[in-house]
Amino acid sequence: MNTALPAALLDRAVAVVDLEGNGGQPPEIVEIAILPVDGAPPAEDELREWLVRPRTRINGIARRIHGIGNSDVESCPLWRDTAPAVQQLLEGRTMVAHSAAGDYRVLGEHLPSWRPPMVLDTLRLARHVWPGLPGYGLSDLVAHASLPVGDTTQQRRPHRAGFDTWCTWLLLLALVEDAGPTWEELVAAAALPQFAPLVEPEGGLW
């Protein structure tokens, strides 16, 4: 891995995030992973992961996607016990996620007082930097970019929060290194609409 971040990410406090849910409506978080990035490429062991016992049981559809069953979380803390550590790690950081709108919405519902300064979506960024690909799922982009995701294990495999968070970080790095944007250009391409900067029209009196 490079020993320095691309210029657009220097001096930016970032949190790469992925969530897995119980399949309910409204969804409850059963696993969350956060990778903090502060001025240098992080090591994989800096990834923080939590399993969470939901109030409503994990349904079969969600279980088939991420492989987390009710027996896996029956002795885990509830969200109320996990939330303080999660919010402390997220506070003041730009959130980065793949298909970020859903994760941001669910995380915001779980942390009502949390307001990130920016949310960037690697899905939006990939469509901007690599147009015309046949698929933009995280696994599709990992394969397209030949990202060095390493060996998978029971705890680190696709659709587990830790694995997907690490893949999202490597994807962000590859996209930024490929496109070479400034921070402003990165925000313009990847920010969720509610975080996109307003563009003032030319002319007129203001």
How far CA 143 is from CA of 12, 66, 110, 127, 140, in Å, comes to 27, 19, 32, 15, 5
Higher pLDDT, 4 or 86: 86
Q: How far apart are CA 132 and CA 154, in angstroms?
A: 33
The pTM assigned to this predicted structure is 0.92
CA 86 to chain centre: 13
Domain ranges of the chain: 7-192
pLDDT in tens, 136-188: 999 999 999 999 887 544 446 788 999 999 999 999 999 999 999 999 999 99
Residue 158 is predicted with a pLDDT of 80
pLDDT in tens, 45-84: 899 999 999 999 999 999 999 999 999 999 999 999 999 9
Q: Is the pLDDT of residue 204 over 60?
A: no
pLDDT band at 197 (very low <50, low <70, confident <90, very high): confident
Assign domain 7-192 to a CATH class: alpha beta
> Which tokens is 7 given?
């210029």
Residue 96 is predicted with a pLDDT of 98
Q: How far apart are CA 17 and CA 15, in angstroms?
A: 6
pLDDT in tens, 76-132: 999 999 999 999 999 999 999 999 999 999 999 999 999 999 999 999 999 999 999
